[in-house]
Amino acid sequence: MDSFKDLAGKAKEALAEHPEQVGQVVDKAGDLFDEKTGGKFADKVDSAQDAVKKALKQEG
Determine the pLDDT at residue 40: 97
Determine the pLDDT at residue 2: 67
> What gap in Å lies between CA 33 and CA 9, rounded to an integer?
27
Query: Tell me, what amino acid is at 52?
Result: V
> What gap in Å lies between CA 41 and CA 47, rounded to an integer?
10
Q: Tell me the pLDDT tens digit for each residue of 22-54.
A: 889 999 999 999 999 999 999 999 999 999 888
pLDDT(19) > 90: no
Determine the pLDDT at residue 8: 76
With CA atoms as reference, report the closest residue to 9 among 1, 28, 54: 1
* CA torsion angle 29 21 11 32 (round to 10): 0
